[in-house]
């Protein structure tokens, strides 16, 4: 084989190695079944960028980035097939492709990122890293808005170590992801063997010709100036990393960890986990058994602390029946606030009839029942529904998927979304995966919420990493909004998150239990809350400005 032929095959083996590193970064960075190390998630954007630089064409860059993201995404999100199989009843032959389809849609962002790394490689290295950091921010935000499933979020992996994510209180979780990508790329430019610079000014002319022939292009001019940019990029990367860590340490020091806040601006909560099997909870025969279980756990916990009047939290759809119309079990539940003097927050299907519709509207609802008579003081209806779990998109309204819609069938999008108020509490409600959307928490605080409450049911996912991934994605909302979070679940993980993203209480999984926790009530908005919604438009404007006017921009437009 000739030297030219050998050079032709080298980029493919390099791309495979780099792609595996990126996929491993996704899997190891996010919570997984073995052991996670959050900072390793930074290998993910670095690998995607290097795949773009190594690519011989636009198409190759797009394909390689997409495949890298898909491999890591399937490793981290393999659990997506479990509710489709275990709950929906689809055979694995269909359940796995469903999960693969969702992961493929999410992973297309990785392909676009690698494509951008390829297209922008004529830019000076330090500008290249800035532009890709801004692009990462924009991609995360746009994909969250468009696809509605922003699960592979870089800050969501880093959130397991609160030190790494304190900057979310200023630029938001997506903006923080972009800054970390920028820092990681600068460091990589200063340390790693660069696929272009290695042949741009230090090698022999013959070697450069071989590489140029292999890719069909010559090395971009930005990397033809030897490697004098390496120290500058490394310094910028280390400086940005130091600033992020320093800011994190400062903010954590300014607000010491308080496990059990007390005083008038605090609330005590009692989380009750029924650990109800998802395949049984909607069967009518289990309704009495379910209510008996939740009442027993609640009364037993309150008996251990006589005189306490906590906010009692039962999880999402804890009551598997229409609470307003049920005459058999609802009176027993209403009696709880009356007897104990404690307010009860409980999830159950809600029902509303309209004169212009034959069938009533059904909502995934959270009820606030208050003393002295257990009346419904207020309710919240879930605003952001789960595709396939709570409704079927029109274009996929196929009969064999209806088994996923357990119990009540198709829910309606909620419009009753104001905070639930009792005494000095203003509960900003989020149901289940609503906790991973920044704009929903933003709206709750804008409406006056002094604490965020997320009731969820992660029983869909079994003993997989999904509940832990869900937990840390939700914890980011505490930082963004400067609000504590009370999170109550059916099978775990129930937690209390302080306004710096730290877990002050954490329960076990798959256990019938009642857990006590305390949280502070906050009224001051975060910097990010004040800046909303401008961070994303500013990032888009900066990216557009760099595309047009930064070094290499005009030359690129002329070509």
* Structural tokens at position 77: 């999100």
Q: Which pLDDT belongs to residue 554? A: 53
299-310 average pLDDT score: 95
- Euclidean distance between CA atoms 473 and 173, whole angstroms: 9
Q: Which pLDDT belongs to residue 386? A: 77
**Does the pLDDT of residue 559 top 80, yes or no?**
no
Q: How many residues does the chain have?
A: 559
**Does the pLDDT of residue 337 top 60, yes or no?**
yes
- Yes or no: say if 101 and 52 are a contact pair by the CB < 8 Å rule: no
The region of weakest confidence among 41-55, 128-142, 192-206, 425-439 is 192-206
**Does the pLDDT of residue 227 top 70, yes or no?**
no
Identify the H or E element spanning 237. helix 229-254
Q: Which pLDDT belongs to residue 62? A: 96
511-537 average pLDDT score: 96
* Structural tokens at position 45: 């954007």
N-to-C CA span, the chain: 36
Please state whether the peptide bond connecting residue 327 to the residue before it is cis, i.e. omega within 30 degrees of 0.
no
197-201 average pLDDT score: 48
- Euclidean distance between CA atoms 44 and 63, whole angstroms: 16
Q: Which pLDDT belongs to residue 8? A: 41
Phi/psi at 490 (5° precision): -80, -50
Q: Which pLDDT belongs to residue 400? A: 45
Bridge partners, 387 (sequence order): 391
Residue at token pair 């209480």: 505
DSSP state letter for 105: H
CB atoms near residue 396 (< 10 Å): 9
- Euclidean distance between CA atoms 287 and 541, whole angstroms: 54
* Structural tokens at position 463: 């003993």
Bridge partners, 370 (sequence order): 375
Bridge partners, 518 (sequence order): 268
Could you tell me the fold of the domain covering 266-525? Nitrilase/N-carbamoyl-D-aminoacid amidohydrolase (3.60.110)
- Euclidean distance between CA atoms 509 and 31, whole angstroms: 15
- Euclidean distance between CA atoms 89 and 401, whole angstroms: 9
Confidence of residue 385 (pLDDT cuts 50, 70, 90): confident
Residue at token pair 């489709």: 84
- Yes or no: say if 336 and 298 are a contact pair by the CB < 8 Å rule: yes
Q: Which pLDDT belongs to residue 223? A: 55
Q: Give per-residue pLDDT as tens, 234-289.
A: 999 999 999 999 999 999 999 999 999 999 999 999 999 999 987 777 788 889 99
146-156 average pLDDT score: 91
Q: Which pLDDT belongs to residue 13? A: 82
**Does the pLDDT of residue 388 top 90, yes or no?**
no
Q: For the chain, which residues make up each domain, given as ranges?
A: 3-254+534-558, 266-525
The phi-psi region of residue 172 (left if phi > 0; otherwise alpha if psi is between -120 and 50; otherwise beta) is left
* Structural tokens at position 260: 């059990």
**Does the pLDDT of residue 168 top 80, yes or no?**
yes
Could you tell me how many helices (H) and strands (E) the chain has, helices first?
18, 12
* Structural tokens at position 326: 């049920």
**DSSP helix/strand/coil, 204:** coil
Average pLDDT over all residues of the chain:
87
The reported pTM is 0.90
CB atoms near residue 487 (< 10 Å): 30
Q: Which pLDDT belongs to residue 297? A: 97
284-309 average pLDDT score: 94
Contact residues for 23 (Cβ-Cβ < 8 A; gap 6+): 47, 68, 69, 71, 72, 75
**Does the pLDDT of residue 210 top 50, yes or no?**
no
- Euclidean distance between CA atoms 257 and 69, whole angstroms: 36
What stretches of 255-322 show up as alpha helix (H) in DSSP?
287-303
Q: Give per-residue pLDDT as tens, 478-517.
A: 999 999 999 999 998 999 999 999 999 999 999 999 999 9
- Euclidean distance between CA atoms 122 and 11, whole angstroms: 19
Q: pLDDT higher for 178 or 36?
A: 178
């Amino acid at each position: 084989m000739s030297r030219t032929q050998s050079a032709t095959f080298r980029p493919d083996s390099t791309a495979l190695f780099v792609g595996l590193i990126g996929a491993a970064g996704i899997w190891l960075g996010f919570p997984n079944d073995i052991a996670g190390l959050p900072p390793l998630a930074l290998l993910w954007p670095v690998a995607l960028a290097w795949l773009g630089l190594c690519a011989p064409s636009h198409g190759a860059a797009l394909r390689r980035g997409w495949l890298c993201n898909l491999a890591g995404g399937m490793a981290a999100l393999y659990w997506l097939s479990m509710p489709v199989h275990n709950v929906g009843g689809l055979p694995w032959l269909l359940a796995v492709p469903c999960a693969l389809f969702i992961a493929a849609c999410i992973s297309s962002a990785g392909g676009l990122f690698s494509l951008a790394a390829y297209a922008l490689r004529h830019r000076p290295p330090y500008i290249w890293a800035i532009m890709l950091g801004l692009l990462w921010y924009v991609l995360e935000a746009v994909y969250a808005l468009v696809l509605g499933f922003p699960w592979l979020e870089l800050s969501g992996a880093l959130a397991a170590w609160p030190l790494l994510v304190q900057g979310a209180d200023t630029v938001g979780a997506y903006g923080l992801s972009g800054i970390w990508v920028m820092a990681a790329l600068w460091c990589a430019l200063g340390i790693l063997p660069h696929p272009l610079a290695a042949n741009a000014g230090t090698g022999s002319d013959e070697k450069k010709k071989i590489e140029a022939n292999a890719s069909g292009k010559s090395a971009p001019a930005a990397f033809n100036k030897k490697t004098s940019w390496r120290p500058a990029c490394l310094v910028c990367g280390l400086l940005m990393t130091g600033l992020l860590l320093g800011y994190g340490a400062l903010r954590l020091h300014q607000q010491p960890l308080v496990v059990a806040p007390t005083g008038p601006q605090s609330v005590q909560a009692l989380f009750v986990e029924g650990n109800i099997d998802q395949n049984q909870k909607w069967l009518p025969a289990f309704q009495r058994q379910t209510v008996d279980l939740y009442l027993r756990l609640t009364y037993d916990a309150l008996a251990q602390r006589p005189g306490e009047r906590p906010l009692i939290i039962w999880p999402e759809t804890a009551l598997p029946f229409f609470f307003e119309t049920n005459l058999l079990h609802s009176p027993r539940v209403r009696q709880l606030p009356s007897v104990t003097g404690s307010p009860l927050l409980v999830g159950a299907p809600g029902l509303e009839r309209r004169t212009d519709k034959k069938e009533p509207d059904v909502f995934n609802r959270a009820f606030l029942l208050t003393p002295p008579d257990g009346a419904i003081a207020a309710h919240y209806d879930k605003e952001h529904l789960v595709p396939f779990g709570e409704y079927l998109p029109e274009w996929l309204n196929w009969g064999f998927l209806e088994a996923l819609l357990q119990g009540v069938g198709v829910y309606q999008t909620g419009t009753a979304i104001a905070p639930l108020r009792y005494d000095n509490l203003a509960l900003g409600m989020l149901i289940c995966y609503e906790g991973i959307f920044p704009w929903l928490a933003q709206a709750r605080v804008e409406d006056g919420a002094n604490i965020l409450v997320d009731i969820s049911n992660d029983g869909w996912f079994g003993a997989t990493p999904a509940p832990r991934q869900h937990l840390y994605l939700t914890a980011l909302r505490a930082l963004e909004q400067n609000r504590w979070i009370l999170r109550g679940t059916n099978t775990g993980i129930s937690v209390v998150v302080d306004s710096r993203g730290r877990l002050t209480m954490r329960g076990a999984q798959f256990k019938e239990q009642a857990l006590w926790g305390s949280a502070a009530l906050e009224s001051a908005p975060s910097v990010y809350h004040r800046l909303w919604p401008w961070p994303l438009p500013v990032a888009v404007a900066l990216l557009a400005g760099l595309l047009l006017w930064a070094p290499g921009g005009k030359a690129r437009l002329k070509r």
